[in-house]
Structure 1
Amino acid sequence: MIKSMEGEIAKALPSVITPERFTRITLSALSTNPKLSECSANSFLGAMMTAAQLGVEPNTPLGQAYLIPYRNHGRLECQFQLGYKGLIDLAYRSGEVKMIQAHTVYENDDFTYELGLEPKLHHIPAKSDRGAPIFFYAVFHTKDDGYGFEVMSIEDVQTHAQKYSKSYGNGPWQTNFEEMAKKTVLKRVLKYAPLKSDFVRAISTDETIKDTISDDMFAEPDVTIVDSETGEVVAASEGGET
């Protein structure tokens, strides 16, 4: 089915990724995580085409995006997730941002910040023995010299993820907490950036399951079913990033 979709993949992909490379990446994801091959074919193809239209490589060391098997009301389906590096790439591609970064602050770093009319952010990493993570922050500068930053404590991130993330407690939240924390603070700070509607539509695909395919995957509905008792989507036992 993936091979048969190469024509559609070619039309969806930006010039930075060839259809052949994207197909190889997708097949590699299947061989690395066998649970993906047990997902419904439509949801896998939907996640694959979402990644293609965004121009991000799923399940590679680049950390741009992930195809993750999830148990969606008893049915194994494939969820698309953006990585924080994919989020950064999309922000740069918007053409409005000249710099965007996300960092982890450890307990032995020199770190202070102030809000108010003259906000300030100061971070000097410790040269060694930085200790445990305590804060995460993201900062952006626009091409017209505007800027913004957002700081979240590790407790802030955990509380936010428990409330808003369908996948908290599973997948990348367990295997790469710092990456997911950086993505969380990036999404929060980018709410204040003057980015175009195309970018907003792109990040709306994060943590979605789509079982229909079209020339505009952003418009396709998210078919995730949230458990009425727990309010969560239950992950497959072998889910997560690969």
Structure 2
Amino acid sequence: MATNNTAKNQLSQRKNNAPSNNGGGTNANTIQAYLKKMGPEFERALPKHMDADRLGRIALTTIRQNPKLLEASIPSLMGAVMQAAQLGLEPGLMGHCYLVPFYNGKMKETDVQFIIGYKGMIDLARRSGHIESIYAHAVYENDEFEYELGLHPKLVHKPAFENREDMAFVYAVAHFKDGGYQFEVFSKNDIDLVKQRSKAGSNGPWKTDYEEMAKKTVIRRIFKYLPISVEIQNHAAQDETVRKDVTEEAHSIHNEDYIQVEATEPDEEEGSEQSNNEQVDENLQKEAEGLFDKA
């Protein structure tokens, strides 16, 4: 997607009005300025039912809640937000998608991985117009659970009312508008193997929302059996990818030399922010120019 040179010029004009970038991190006001200037590009990428201002506010809140994201490279951070815009998903606590920081050992910088959440996967599947309903559930040890494959597949799950104990399985079911259906079952061990292969396996949503990520994993597995378009299949393939900037194609994080970093708990207080009249650090300004020069 081409980036408007006007945004670059406007950022340059505001150089003396943006907050500073001290101590290796980026001031939240600076990121807010980037999000605002990227607004027209987000607007062009977003589906009609979403608003660029709302996306910018949600993204800024998500970034402020995880100080590690303030340490990420601006191009990578804006690239992750652009991925959310292009897929029409909102980052943050709603579970549509997540922005997870990683230390890039090759580039010696923190980059941002884009991860689709359980609700995001459900939303993508429903956009096909061929899905009557799609859902996933976790099965615990004391639940009554039975499934079989073959000529007449069968799945029965009756949750226990109390003392369900530990998770044992996760399953996903999709009912099609033509009357057909598809289901997939993963054991807890299957889920953990997927988690172990993920660069975000020890932090981010795998740490804070394990059951939701388990559901997302099994939903993602049945995508190949669903009557959905190539475009939506491609959207689902954006899961666990990273961009170097807003114009570059997303790449799987598994193909890069990344070192995971622990997500940080949200600050109770944001602390004092730098004055808007301080000058942006020269390195940050060069990074901004590089971001838009690739248009």
Normalised by the length of structure 2, the TM-score is 0.74
Q: Does the C-alpha gap of structure 1 residues 210 and 23 become closer, same or farther in structure 2, counting only changes over 3 Å?
A: same
Residues 238 and 250 in structure 2, CA contact (< 8 A), matched pair in contact too:
no
**What pairs up with 1:94-113 in 2 under 5 angstroms?**
94-113=128-147
Match of 2:238 in 1: 205
Match of 2:74 in 1: 41
Match of 1:166 in 2: 199
Match of 2:170 in 1: 136
Structure 1 stretches of 4+ moved >6 Å: none
CA distance in 2, matches of 1:184, 1:207: 12
Match of 1:71 in 2: 103
Match of 2:57 among 24, 48, 54: 24
Q: CA deviation at 1:239?
A: 5.6
Match of 1:226 among 256, 263, 276: 256
Q: Does the C-alpha gap of structure 1 residues 236 and 166 become closer, same or farther in structure 2, counting only changes over 3 Å?
A: closer
CA distance in 2, matches of 1:240, 1:122: 39
CA distance in 2, matches of 1:240, 1:172: 12
CA distance in 2, matches of 1:237, 1:152: 27
Match of 2:21 in 1: none
CA distance in 2, matches of 1:69, 1:152: 28
Q: CA deviation at 1:221?
A: 3.9
Q: CA deviation at 1:240?
A: 8.7
CA distance in 2, matches of 1:158, 1:30: 28
Query: Which residues of structure 2 form unaligned runs of 5+?
Result: 1-33, 268-295
Query: Which residues of structure 1 form unaligned runs of 5+?
Result: 228-232
Residues 172 and 240 in structure 1, CA contact (< 8 A), matched pair in contact too:
no
Bigger shift: 48-57 or 189-198?
A: 189-198
**What pairs up with 1:112-131 in 2 under 5 angstroms?**
112-131=146-165
| Larger of the two Rg values belongs to structure | 2
RMSD: 1.9
Give 3-state SS (helix, strand or coil) of 2:241's partner.
coil
CA distance in 1, matches of 2:222, 2:266: 25
Residues 172 and 241 in structure 1, CA contact (< 8 A), matched pair in contact too:
no
CA distance in 2, matches of 1:190, 1:139: 11
Normalised by the length of structure 1, the TM-score is 0.89
- Measured against aligned partners, the alpha-carbon deviations of 1:133-175 in whole angstroms (never above 9, x if no partner) come to 1100000011111211011110111123324x23222322122
Match of 1:92 in 2: 126
Residues 63 and 86 in structure 1, CA contact (< 8 A), matched pair in contact too:
yes
Give 3-state SS (helix, strand or coil) of 2:186's partner.
strand
User: Do residues 187 (structure 1) and 220 (structure 2) align?
Assistant: yes
Residues 83 and 179 in structure 1, CA contact (< 8 A), matched pair in contact too:
yes
CA distance in 2, matches of 1:212, 1:82: 19
Q: CA deviation at 1:193?
A: 1.2
Relative contact order, CA 8 A, sep 6+: which one is greater? 2
- Measured against aligned partners, the alpha-carbon deviations of 1:95-144 in whole angstroms (never above 9, x if no partner) come to 12111000000111111001111000001111222221110000001111
Residues 102 and 113 in structure 2, CA contact (< 8 A), matched pair in contact too:
yes
CA distance in 2, matches of 1:186, 1:175: 19
